[in-house]
Amino acid sequence: MSLWGGSEQESFQKVLDAFKTKTGVTANFESQRTNYSTILQTRISGGNPPDVAIIPGIGFLRQFARQGSLKKVSDVGVDLNAIKGNYPPGILEIGQVDGTQYGIMVKFNSKSTMWFRPDRFKTAGVSPATDFTSFVKLLGDIKAKGIPPMGLGAADSWTLTDWFENIYAKQAGPEKYDQLFSGKLPWTDASVATAVDTMKQAIKEDFVAGGITAGLGRSFTDGIGQAFAANGTAAMYYEGGFVGGIATGQTNTALKVGETIDWFDFPAVGSGKTVTIGGDVIAAFTTKPGVKEFLNYMTTPDSGAVWAGTGAIISPIKSVPASAYPNDLAKREAAQVANASAVRFDGSDLLPSGGGDQLGAALQTAIQNKTVDWAAFETQMQTKWKAEK
């Protein structure tokens, strides 16, 4: 059971077909596109869970694991020691609850990609920045040439949480990141305000095409359009690796990789280069025949290569070859994560249910240069963490 439909379902079906060819086991796919977590919980409570499910958000993974609904990976028959070497540091940990492996990440996108227009960079006589100080200077240099530096679609407030998470993971470091997004470090810690202040050096009136207020009313796909639509004017747009597929497949099919669309690494903050990602984990609710084979298959380069070949995802499995990806943008995205010194999962997806939306709202306040009450926010988060235990 999964919440994927449309092209995502079609891509995943190719993996299921390859699994059947390899093992002779048929995996039937059930798509549940609305109220996924509610319907999944109802199925569990009624004693009729799917054998395997894609879990939307790590808060839900913790909920299902702690109520005893999920099977431990070891109980299903997957040898954790045998598969550990298949993944970059930090990937398997995403599927752990209280130190026990319940889920395995099966697909992701980097959230550390800064998308840009090579043609507009050329016109402005500028190059991609490697660190945040030079990135802020880059925004000013582009502005000075009369080109709007950056699109912004912040009505979807999760885009702002992705900015914050990239900066925080690099500036405060991966260990503090883990503490903040697990409820162990308070949001009143000085590192939070420091990261927000750094973020506001880039997301400000002068650098956002159309200004901050308009950006707060614009969807993230319309933000992509500010840079990449046929009538777009901005030089850059920040979001995850999925921007490439949306921009070239929907926004403007005339885009040419390396000429009118490309990306560079989200700038380092100080010496910090931690890469952030967003993705999906798979977990088992039963130990019926075929479940062990399926989970084991999903940890192999065979499954990763089939899925990567659709262009829909990046595989977390290190040995999936670059040749499996259908274009240069995806190949480089896979390499960025595989070669990262540290990888951390999307922080807002690690928060208890609803916490990510509240963080996004706080950051919408922050970029308007209004004061955020982080003490009140911390109280809200602690209430959510306690409710989850």
| Mean pLDDT rounded to a whole number for the chain | 94
Instruction: Specify the pLDDT at position 362.
Output: 98
Write the DSSP string, 306-336.
HHHTTTS-B-S-TTS-GGGSSSHHHHHHHHH
The kind and range of the H/E element at 144 are helix 132-144
Query: Minimal CA–CA distance to 187: which of 1, 389, 355?
Result: 355
Q: What is the largest CA-CA distance in the chain?
A: 64
By DSSP bridging, strand 262-265 and strand 52-55 are: unpaired
**Residue 246 CB-density burial (10 A; 0-12 exposed, 13-18 middle, 19+ buried):** middle
Give me the residue label for tokens 């880059």. 138
- Predicted confidence (pLDDT) at residue 354 exceeds the cutoff of 90: no
The DSSP secondary-structure symbol of 40 reads H
Question: Which residues lie below 8 Å from residue 288, measured CB to CB, with a gap of 6+?
Answer: 51
CATH number for the domain formed by residue range(s) 113-265: 3.40.190.10
User: Which residues partner with 150 through β-bridges?
Assistant: 208, 236
Mean pLDDT within 2-12: 82
Query: How far is Cα of residue 17 from the mean position of the Cα atoms in its chain?
Result: 26
Name 109's bridge partners: 278
DSSP 259-278: TTBEEEEPPBBTTB--EEEE
**CB 150 within 8 Å of CB 237:** yes
Q: At what angle do helices 374-388 and 355-366 cross, to 10 degrees?
A: 170
- Share in percent of the chain as helix, strand, coil (round to 5): 50, 15, 40
Flag the least confident range among 119-133, 215-229, 337-351, 374-388. Answer: 337-351
Bin 126: left if φ > 0, else alpha if -120 < ψ < 50, else beta. beta
Q: CA–CA separation, 81 vs 315, rounded Å?
A: 19
Tens digits of per-residue pLDDT, 278-332?
989 999 999 999 999 999 999 999 999 999 988 778 998 989 988 999 888 989 9
Confidence tier at 238 by pLDDT (50, 70, 90): very high
State the CATH class of domain 6-110+278-347: alpha beta
The pLDDT tens digits of the residues spanning 165-178 come to 999 999 999 999 99
pLDDT band at 119 (very low <50, low <70, confident <90, very high): very high
Q: Length of the chain in residues, anyone?
A: 389
Task: Give the amino acid at 359.
Answer: L
Question: Is pLDDT at 89 greater than 90 in this prediction?
Answer: no
Contacts for 213-216: CB closer than 8 Å, 24+ residues apart: 213/368, 215/152, 215/153, 215/154, 216/154, 216/155, 216/364, 216/367, 216/368
| DSSP labels, 280-315 | EEEEES---TTHHHHHHHTTSHHHHHHHHTTTS-B-
What count of other Cβ atoms lies within 10 Å of the Cβ of residue 274?
24
Task: Report d(CA 109, CA 157) in Å as an integer.
Answer: 18
For 174, list phi and psi in degrees, rounded to 5: -65, -30
Helix (H, G, I), strand (E, B) or coil at 4: coil
Please report the beta strands in the chain, taking only residues with DSSP state E, as ranges in sequence order.
52-55, 96-97, 100-101, 103-110, 113-116, 236-238, 262-265, 275-284, 343-345
Entry pTM: 0.84
CA dist 48 and 357 (Å) reads 31
- The predicted pLDDT at position 339 comes to 87
Residues of the chain with CATH 3.40.190.10: 6-110+278-347, 113-265
Instruction: Reply yes or no on whether the pLDDT at 144 is more than 80.
Output: yes
Please give the single-letter amino acid code of residue 176.
K
* pLDDT at residue number 133: 97
pLDDT reading at 5 higher than 80: no
Q: How much is the pLDDT for 327?
A: 86
Cβ atoms within 10 Å of 35's Cβ, excluding its own: 11
